[in-house]
Structure 1
Amino acid sequence: MKQSRSNTPNYLKYLNKKKILQFIRDNDQISRAEISVNLSISKPTVSLIVDELLQEGWIFERESNESSALGGRKPINLFFNKNAYFLIGIDIGGTNVEVGIVNLTGELIAKGQLLTQAALKKDFINEICTTVYSLLEKNNIGSEFVMAVGVGAPGITDSNQGIVIDAPSLGWINYPLKHKLEEKIEFPVYVDNDVNIAVLGEQWKGQASNKDHVILITLGTGVGCGIIVNGQLYRGSAFAAGEIGYMVTDKNEAKEEYDHIFQGYGFLDSHVGGPSIVKRMEMHLQNVTYDHPLKGEKLTAKKIFHYAINNDPLSLQVVNETLEHIAFALVNVICIFNPQCVVIGGGISKSGKWFLPKVQSIIEKHLPIRTDIFVSELEGLSLIGAGALVLREHESLLKEKGVI
């Protein structure tokens, strides 16, 4: 009789090992007997596998502070070793590249940074790899304790091949990022769109913790959208799901000529991104006859939001136009995907507590579906998300289908 992989002794042992490790991780401070009862695995099998996990460093054991109910020897409890291995996260942005070390429970251990445009003028990949190894050395982490590398790229990305199909801010078209990195670094590399890894970070450790239907909207230079459906990233047939920067939120204005903030950017990008806010404010200031405090200033979206929050009429007008476009985009996204929650991230989101009620009032007017909307509060979101990507994609005992 021909055996399938699923019923061979070695594979059954692997499945049991995986179940036991994940059970210890989810139920820290647990005994061998409790594992056996809860997982319906024989005590000898549990003992054998636990000894292997101890030897490999995945777990550690410690004597309990209290004796058992029957007295006598204190029980030995098992604990998940969150620092058994580490995950490298890389977030490539148009301005900065961030590199981080994340442990197995999603804690950001260390972070480094380099300037994107300066690195692009040199050997970009070598600059990133040098930063990775420097960070490991500073934190006394040997290469043998690194599981893999997760990378977020700012553009449409073929996550299967690790190819960045189109990243306007970097000038990349069909750039083989995974291959380039693996030529110079000794760890497996997994690549995805930067907003996709950000939504994984929110689902793992942020506002959307353990939810199966999540939308993350990032507001920065442009607009990005990460989508999780049934616990899985939704990437689309050509890896372009979530490119809502091309969404039209005013058909009349779309019929007319409007400024594309950057070549390749869409309607929504050109109406709610930071540069578009600055450009609209500059246009309004040209027509102002009185001495406005922002006249002659170097404008940023952050500065304009600051003045809007302090009730400057001109800044409020510009910001309210932006918020309307954001709100109508969210109406469309929510009614299509019906998520449990929407998380708003990116630079503009730092003013989220002020503008969220304005956005919610528009959504509630046009949409009967109740959806929680949060502002992201997770520090190192994309680096943690890159770690989450590794745990989902890398062939290890911690790989799971669905929520990490």
Structure 2
Amino acid sequence: MLMNLKKTSTPNYLKYLNKKKILRYVRENDERSRADIALALSISKPTVSSIVDELIEDGWIEEKDSLVASSSGGRKPVHLSFSPDSRLIAGVDIGGTYVEIGILNLNGTILAKDRFETQPALKNNIIRKVGDCILKLLGEINRTPEHVMAVGVGAPGITDTDKGTVLEAPSLGWIDYPLKEAVENELGLPVYIDNDVNVGVLGEQWKGKAKNADHLILITLGTGVGCGIIVNGSLYRGSSFAAGEIGYMVTDKNEANEEYDEIFEGYGFLDSHVGGPSIVKRMKKKLEEPDYHGTYDSENLSAKTIFQLAKDEDPIATEVIKETVDHIAYALVNVVCIFNPQCVILGGGISKSGGWFLPRVKEVLSRHLPLQTEISVTELENVSVIGAGALCLKEHESLLKSEGVM
């Protein structure tokens, strides 16, 4: 892509900055002329014209004849538009249950997507499966790896983004796994990795309810529970990349002092009390109690079916889900009082029932917090795939790398 340029006052670096400014302006202000750009950015017309020619040649922007003639009656002016399909991004979300993959353009539109089950793939070269899926999706839209600017990957565990290593991902059985290197070797493309919830919160900031929010929390409820944090407009990772690992949060000291089942080895207290597998396990345990005489298809229970049973006022399911919701609510009390976000968004599979249990969560927060924070459920489909694309735009050495570019 671009050569690395030192931040000096050299002509090359000044040109690079002007190039970024012009591309960003065209991206945010569609169908503007060269004269519009020069006036808006206070850059000389010859400089603008030269840089625009380069951006057109490189495919970043395209020219379109105006439908309206100039006010002087001369030829119609040429307008410039950002070309979102000039380059593509591959977004990969590796979850404990499914791996979801999408091909996005530079505006964050998913052009093709697919998914496959995680656990079987772990036994049969999951990275090759990811690579094959990306190539298949590119073929579906008649594109090749040469069109892909970068690959963003979210992983369900503590991730060292500097080294490109997943330090620990219990649901995958990974410890110090060199994910970045593995995917780069498979595809031969630049790869950027992060914790899956971190890429999710980037997706919400880019395309979701909290678009451009400076202080944002995303809580994901799925196989386990995770937390992505945006502070002052930027992703907060912590001193050792473990910020937001609220799965280890304790929301009941009495239960924490007792023996409890870890859903996966290495999972924390909250993971083991609100994750989908933990809901199923607690439901089955209650069904095995000697004073219970009902009939359930316990072999085919899932978190989704238990939530539905609770909605239908089944007493045992209601008890299980009430315990789950209380743990979620008290975890939120702790997170909100520490970070004071503008809003909290719930995501992940369990959040699909959020509209039903959200009133209980809000009731707990209003009782324990002096200031109220907006809490809602995500409406953004494929949030982590989109967030993986956002990660690429933030990290990749390209003209689009800029604070606030999204």
TM class, shorter-chain normalised? over 0.9
Question: Which whole-Å deviations, capped at 9, do the CAs of 1:27-60 have from their partners, x for residues lacking one?
Answer: 1111111111111111111111111111111111
Shift of 1:300: 0.9
Structure 2 counterpart of 1:233, from 232, 235, 247: 235
1:392 aligns with 2:404: no
Which of 369, 378, 381 matches 1:379?
381
Change (3 A) 1:235 1:34: same
Answer whether contact 1:285 1:295 (CA < 8 A) is retained.
no
What's the TM-score once normalised by structure 2's chain length?
0.95
**Are the aligned partners of 1:181 and 1:189 in contact in 2 as well (CA < 8 Å)?**
yes
Aligned structure 1 segments of 4 or more residues deviating by more than 6 angstroms: none
Please point out which of 198, 201, 225 is paired with 2:200.
198
- 2:93 and 2:385 in contact (8 A); partners too: yes
Deviations, residues 242-270 of structure 1 (Å, cap 9, x unaligned): 11011011112222222222221111111
Deviates more, 1:291-300 or 1:329-338: 291-300
Structure 1 stretch displaced more, 3-12 or 366-375: 3-12
For 1:155, the equivalent position in structure 2 comes to: 157
Question: CA 1:284–1:114 in 2, change beyond 3 Å: closer, same or farther?
Answer: closer
**SS of alignment partner, residue 99 of structure 1:** strand
Query: 1:281-360 maps to which residues of 2 (within 5 A)?
Result: 281-287=283-289, 289=291, 292=294, 294=296, 296=298, 298-360=300-362
Which residue number in structure 2 is paired with residue 363 of structure 1?
A: 365
Shift of 1:161: 0.7
Q: CA 1:248–1:4 in structure 2 vs 1: closer, same or farther (change >3 Å)?
A: closer
- 1:293 shift after superposition: 5.2
Secondary structure, aligned partner of 1:6? coil
SS at the partner of 2:70? Answer: coil
Q: State percent identity of aligned pairs.
A: 62
Pair 1:262–1:117, CA change in 2 (3 A)? closer
Name the CA distance, whole Å, in 1 between partners of 2:196 and 2:56.
Answer: 36
Distance 1:72 1:252 in 2: 81
Structure 2 residue aligned with 1:254 = 256
Gaps of 5+ in 1: none
Shift of residue 134, structure 1, vs aligned partner: 2.1
Distance 2:405 2:359 in 1: 30
Match of 1:223 in 2: 225
Describe the superposition over 1:306-329 as per-residue Cα deviations: whole angstroms up to 9, x where unpaired.
Answer: 011122222222111111110110
Q: Which amino acid aligns with 1:124?
A: I
Q: 123-132 or 266-275, which moves further after superposition?
A: 123-132
Q: Distance in 2 between matches of 1:114 and 1:329?
A: 31
SS in 2 for 1:7: coil
In the superposition, relative to structure 1, how do residues 259 and 118 fare at CA in structure 2: closer, same or farther (>3 Å)? closer
Partner deviation per Cα, 1:339-386 (whole Å, 9 max, x = no partner): 111110011000111111111111011112221112111111111111
Matched, 1:185 2:187: yes
One-letter identity of the residue aligned with 2:356: W
CA contact (8 A) 2:155 2:196 kept: yes
Give the letter aligned to residue 181 of structure 1: V
Partner of residue 169, structure 1: 171
For residue 104 of structure 2, give the secondary structure of its aligned residue in structure 1.
Answer: strand
The number of residue pairs the alignment matches comes to 402
Partner of 2:30: 28
Code of the aligned partner of 2:55: L
Contact 1:212 1:403 (C-alpha < 8 Å) held by counterparts = no
3-state DSSP of counterpart to 1:169: coil
Q: Measure, in 1, the Cα distance between the counterparts of 2:115 and 2:6.
A: 48
In the superposition, relative to structure 1, how do residues 295 and 5 fare at CA in structure 2: closer, same or farther (>3 Å)?
A: closer
Aligned partner of 1:50 in structure 2 is 52
1:368 is aligned with what amino acid? P
- Alpha-carbon distance between aligned partners in 1 of 2:126 and 2:288, rounded to the nearest angstrom: 40
Decide whether the 8 Å contact of 1:230 with 1:402 is kept in 2.
no
Q: Which amino acid aligns with 1:151?
A: V
Q: Distance in 1 between matches of 2:270 and 2:127?
A: 32
Aligned residue number for residue 273 of structure 2: 271
Residue 117 of structure 1: CA displacement? 2.5
Deviations 1:194-238 (A, max 9, x none): 111111111111111111111110001111111111111111111
Q: Distance in 2 between matches of 1:91 and 1:27?
A: 31
- Structure 2 equivalent of residue 134 of structure 1: 136
Query: 1:295: how far off?
Result: 5.5
For 1:108, give the aligned amino acid: I
Q: Which amino acid aligns with 1:266?
A: G
**Deviation of 1:296 (Å):** 4.2
Taking the aligned partners of 2:226 and 2:379, their CA distance within structure 1 comes to: 17
Pick which of 72-81 and 355-364 moved more.
Answer: 72-81
Supply the AA of the counterpart residue of 1:220.
G
Match for residue 122 of structure 2?
120
Q: Match of 1:161, SS?
A: coil
Aligned to 1:17: 19
Which residue of structure 2 lines up, in the alignment, with residue 67 of structure 1? 69
Alignment of 1:92-111 (within 5 A): 92-111=94-113
| Deviation larger for 384-393 or 178-187 | 178-187
- Is the contact between residue 225 and residue 244 of structure 1 (CA under 8 Å) also seen in structure 2? yes
Does the Cα contact within 8 Å between 1:232 and 1:402 map onto a contact in 2?
A: no
